[in-house]
Amino acid sequence: MADQETEKNFETGDNQSSSVPPPPGREVKIRTLESDVKSVEQSGGGIPEPEVIRLSELDSDLGKTPEPAPAPAPPAELTGEPPPFTRPISQTAPAVSEIAPPTPVKSKKWWLAAGSIVIIALVILGYWYLWFSNLPAEIPEEPAIEGGITLPATTAPPAINQSVFGFPPEKITEIKAGDSTVIGIITALQNRASFKTTEQLEEIVIKINDQSLPFNEYLNILLPETAGSNLEAVLKAVFEKNFTAFFYRDENNRAWPGYLVSLKPGVQIDQPSLLAQLADLEKASIVNLFLAPPQKQLPFKTAPFGKQFTRRYATFEQKPASLNYGLFGQYLIITTTDQALIEILKALEIL
């Protein structure tokens, strides 16, 4: 009876405050095909469609014979030469802006290279100057020799420089000029003339730069006006290359220079013709033939000398200075005083 009353109270809610109902049960969801389709549609996907493969198509593919692979190409015939090498070219060349310029190498000793170049250039210029300065100067065209002179058919070889006075070698004095200038030659002669000697005639060999010059070249140095003149042509064509220089010493032991040169063998010439050919000598600076230039030259004159010779001479205010020249036998003789000419002709046994 009591249990029935209690059940009655529970159903009517009279006993709610005195009892707690049990917790709700856990919801259980069952996965079905329909739920999967609905879930795929909610996520934005579609239902995968199955691929249908027909057995007839599968049977036709299985019955086909596979195509054979292509045969490899035959090797190229050997020709004995290797195939040309071709460098692979990059398909994508880098842009110009991407290529970094090479960094210049700075030498700390650039001045050493520059100095070496300057020194080499100076050496080359020095050799060039020495080479071309030693080349012979261009020989001017020789003027034609006028009539009155007969040259030999063949030119005889130059004679060896021997004493024309018959002096022994130890009696011949060698003088070396410092350079090929008027001052160089006169200074060398003055130095030798300062030596005191008892010899009235002293034979001299003059060398310039350790060489004996031909008489025409030597005279061109002392008398620059004769270069390229008819006098130079006559001296070169008619007379020997070697010449003799000498000193004549007077009673005061003063030295007076002079020169003589011999005709070439076979040359025939008369005195008047030769004197006319040598007239250019009178237009030159004849004071250079003296050790000290004399003052106030008088005009040249022609006068007989002995019985068969003729001379041209010019006197000066300073005595006994006088320039004499002429053809005496086979010699052209030039003296700077009258007495020297007399003594030379006696030594040559011409007078």
pLDDT in tens, 30-49: 777 777 777 767 766 655 66
CA distance linking residue 240 with residue 230, whole number of Å = 16
Quick one: pLDDT band at residue 50, thresholds 50, 70, 90?
low
Highest mean pLDDT among 31-45, 56-70, 224-238: 224-238
Span 108-116, mean pLDDT?
73
Q: Whose structure tokens read 């021997």?
A: 162
Q: Closest by alpha carbon to 244, among 308, 148, 339, 330?
A: 330
Residue type, position 14, single letter: D
Give the pTM.
Answer: 0.56
Specify which residues 256 forms β-bridges with.
248
Give 163 or 331, the one with higher predicted confidence: 331
CA distance linking residue 149 with residue 152, whole number of Å = 10
Quick one: pLDDT band at residue 139, thresholds 50, 70, 90?
very low
- Assess whether pLDDT exceeds 60 at residue 249: yes
CB 275 within 8 A of CB 326: yes
Mean pLDDT score of the chain: 76
In the chain, what percentage of residues exceed pLDDT 90? 37
Residue pLDDT, tens place only, 69-106: 566 555 555 555 555 555 555 555 555 455 555 555 55
Span 170-192, mean pLDDT?
91
CA distance linking residue 256 with residue 245, whole number of Å = 11
Domain ranges of the chain: 166-347
Q: Helix or strand or coil: residue 296?
A: coil
Rg of the chain, C-alpha, whole Å:
64
The DSSP code for 123 is: H
3-state helix, strand, coil split of the chain in percent (to 5) is: 35, 20, 45
